[in-house]
Amino acid sequence: MSLFVTQDNNGFRQVETIPYSESQLNAWLEPLGFSTRQPQKLAEAILKLSDWYNSQPEPLTSWQNPSVQAAYLAYFLPLNMARLRAVYFEGEQLGFFKPYKRWVDIGSGPATLLHALPQVSATIELVESHKNAQSLAQNTLPGRKLNWTQTISGTPQSLAVLSYVLGETPSLAEVMASFGAIMILEPSTREAAPRFQKMRSALLAQGFHLWAPCPHQELCPLRQLNEKIVDWCHDRVAVTTPPWFANIEKFLPIKNRTVTFSYLLAAKTPPPAMSFGRLVGDALIEKGKTRQLLCQGSEKIYLRWLKRTKFKGELSRGAKIKPVLLSGHPEIDATDEQMRAFSFEVNDSEG
């Protein structure tokens, strides 16, 4: 089981986020003119990079800029590590990674994947077009021999990793066909949602099977192509962060108690039988009831439980729910008591 992720009975996951110490981070930041002792300066660099990612249609990370490198090391690297750990946790539970002894990390940046998952025993090749990002990877992983490659070539035994890269290289779908499996992480934003859906459709058309998060191979109930984007599939996990991270966050508009991301695990081989639905919405607490969007096919379905039922908790976005088909009562993996509390609302008017 994953070294860095814990999960409670209601599906809430907590990810341990930052493996390096503050003094280690400062040893990387100081040559760039930054330090955790100046959290506001770091926060300004983070905001600038964040705005730039959000405002440009296909921005390329400008790694030659020291403030971009500092912002990435202090903020984007640890948060993307948490996301990679959370997705690895999901895949591990399904046995998704087992057949793939060669991983190709495309757009590897400062080798976020290697920082996040030191326990992976597969050979990991890194594809990164920017020399400064390659240097950052080597400087932050001094004891590790990094395996760079320039041409992306897949085999049925290889896994491609695309973590926060489709925004910079959207036309990767064709290259993916040569791989046996693929792991994609993308920002859970309105802007990223259409390209993410496009990739999902392209993978299905190439004969890939979806292993996670989709518990089915049908159209996504939150599909956005040619539609007004109101919601999009994403997951949410809680993160633990150290005091120096909280000091930087004091100067940021967002506090990262939880992080969100969209992800896909797909392979040429079919997944194990999936007799569950997945909660793809946060809890909507209303008068007398709580509802959460449940994905188990192309239709929008809400899991609903009434205030007067025994279950008083909340279920995590991303939690798996075992529906008892035909009876109209889905059951959650947790307790019988919870199972009795649920009822379906099909095709609710909000949908």
Q: How far is the CB of 93 from ligand SAM (least distance, A)?
A: 22
CB 75 within 8 A of CB 248: yes
Q: Quick one: 187 or 215, whose CB is closer to ligand SAM?
A: 187
Instruction: Give CA–CA dist 188/166, Å, rounded.
Output: 12
Number of other residues whose CB lies within 10 A of the CB of residue 183: 27
At closest approach, how far in Å is the CB of 59 from ligand SAM? 9
Q: Shortest approach of ligand SAM to residue 52 CB, angstroms?
A: 11
Cβ proximity to ligand SAM, 45 vs 127, nearer residue: 127
CB of 46 to ligand SAM, least distance (A): 13
Tell me which H or E stretch contains 54.
Answer: helix 39-55
CB of residue 174 to ligand SAM, shortest distance in Å: 13
Report how far Cα 76 is from the mean position of its chain's Cα atoms.
Answer: 13
Min dist CB 217 to ligand SAM, Å, is 27
- Shortest gap between Cβ of 252 and ligand SAM (angstroms)? 18
Do strands 123-127 and 102-106 pair parallel, antiparallel, or not at all (unpaired)? parallel
Distance, CA of 257 to CA of 234 (rounded, Å): 16
User: Which CB, 202 or 204, lies closer to ligand SAM?
Assistant: 202
Report the phi/psi class of residue 145: left, alpha or beta, with left for phi > 0 and alpha for psi in -120 to 50: beta
C-alpha–C-alpha distance, residues 11 and 226, integer Å: 33
346: left (phi over 0), alpha (psi -120 to 50) or beta: beta
Please report which helix (H) or strand (E) contains residue 240, including its range. Answer: strand 235-240
Instruction: For residues 201 and 205, give the distance between their C-alpha atoms in angstroms, rounded to a whole number.
Output: 6
Fill in the amino acid letter for 287: K
Q: Which is nearer to ligand SAM, 114 or 267 (CB)?
A: 114
Q: CB 147 → ligand SAM: shortest distance, Å?
A: 14
User: For ligand SAM, which is the closer residue by CB, 2 or 112?
Assistant: 112
Task: Collapse the DSSP code of 162 into the 3-class scheme (helix H, G, I; strand E, B; otherwise coil) and give the result.
Answer: strand
**Block residue for tokens 């046996």:** 180
Supply φ then ψ for residue 6, to 5 degrees. -120, 150
**Closest CB to ligand SAM among residues 172, 332:** 172
Q: Which spans in 150-222 are helix H?
A: 173-176, 192-205
Closest approach, Cβ 104 to ligand SAM, in A, equals 11
Residue with tokens 């909507």: 284
User: What's the gap between Cα 117 and its chain centre?
Assistant: 14
Report yes or no: 161 and 149 within 8 Å, Cβ to Cβ.
no
Residues that bind ligand SAM (CB under 6 A): 60-61, 80, 107-109, 112, 127-130, 133, 163-165, 168-169
